[in-house]
Amino acid sequence: MKKIGALLAVTALALSGCAQTDREYPSKKIELIVAFGAGSTNDVVARAFAASFEDVSGGTVLVLNRPGAMGIIGTTEASLTADDGYTMLLAPVAAFTNAPLLQETHYSSEDFKSVTSLSSQGFAITVRADSPYNSLDDLKNADSALTYATLGEGHSGHVLLAEILKDLGKDGRAIPFDGAANAIQSTISGETDIAVTDASAAYQREKSGEVKVLAVTGDERIPSMPDVPTVTEEGYPEANYLATQALAIPAGVDDETTQKITELAEKAVHSDSYQEYLKTANSTLQDIDGPKWMTDYVPEEKARIEQAYQELGIGQR
């Protein structure tokens, strides 16, 4: 009897071990780190994706906001987490391009692998509704240096308008603001002449009649603002920057878990609910293979921005 009891105990233990190793992903809560504050564009993208990922996976996704330093704080935290696939990063392109060119970071794109594109949104160049400027070319008629609200020193929106003003031969001064709402409000109130924010935020204020949108970035016009030209159409293709995000995980996550996450993430971003979110947010999915976002797109964009910084004197003291 003792031998039979011992054999049953060993068998039960072995079966228990198999159950633990063969459990379907996800078998516990997932944490999705967002390197920006609650209510930000990145946060909204993350929460829309988390809801869709929960629907297709049956799991639970906790969105954790870790704002600060153009995404450096949250991205650093994500780089130090376990390689088990249960911590993900809402990866904003600026955290891997602009931020490392302006500050020292203790992470790099090699610490992560991207899984899928989550969102790509154009920037909008906005003026007050009663502004005398009705096109980008009108900016050359300004009597003095133009002030423009941006989402941070060295932000892509800063680079965007700096390049346009340089081509126009006009002086300008970028003024950083915390968040798109504050940036646009500064232009509405007359504190700044122009605001450069994500297109979704500008669209809401245009609908209310408070602003005019002179141009947007992106390869095509935004469906909700069909009369607004792109900066490329206006003759400034070099200023065609985008705000993009991808889903990333630590580089050390094993291939099997990575494959499972990829399958679920692809189902989530192509679900009806997430596609509807993208439509209402004036956003799209980038036409790029998930892994190539980090291995190809990020280095190319970083090199492009670094060259622009040098030419425009951004970040140089």
Quote the pLDDT of residue 316: 62
How many C-beta atoms surround the C-beta of residue 200 within 10 A? 20
| Residue linked to tokens 């459990």 | 23
pLDDT in tens, 57-107: 999 999 999 998 889 999 999 999 999 999 999 999 999 999 999 999 999
Q: In this model, does residue 13 exceed pLDDT 70?
A: no
Instruction: Supply angle C-alpha 73, 77, 82, rounded to 5.
Output: 170
DSSP 166-216: HHHT--EEEEE-SSHHHHHHHHHTTSSSEEEEEHHHHHHHHHTTSEEEEEE
All domains of the chain in start order, with CATH: 22-120+243-310 (3.40.190.150), 122-241 (3.40.190.10)
Number of helices (H), then strands (E), belonging to the chain: the values are 12, 10
Rounded Cα gap, residues 115 and 117, in angstroms:
7
Burial code (b: 16+ CB inside 10 Å, e: under 16) for 60-75 equals: ebebebbbebbbbbbb
For residue 194, list its beta bridge partners. Answer: 148
pLDDT in tens, 211-232: 999 999 999 999 999 999 999 9
Q: In this model, does residue 120 exceed pLDDT 90?
A: yes
Quote the pLDDT of residue 115: 98
Whether the bond into 92 is cis, omega within 30 of 0: no
Quote the pLDDT of residue 16: 41
Binned at pLDDT 50, 70 and 90, residue 178 comes out as confident
Quote the pLDDT of residue 40: 87
283: exposed, middle or buried (Cβ count in 10 Å: 0-12, 13-18, 19+): buried
Rounded Cα gap, residues 287 and 289, in angstroms:
7
Q: Are 116 and 248 in contact (CB under 8 A)?
A: no
For residue 284, list its beta bridge partners. Answer: 120
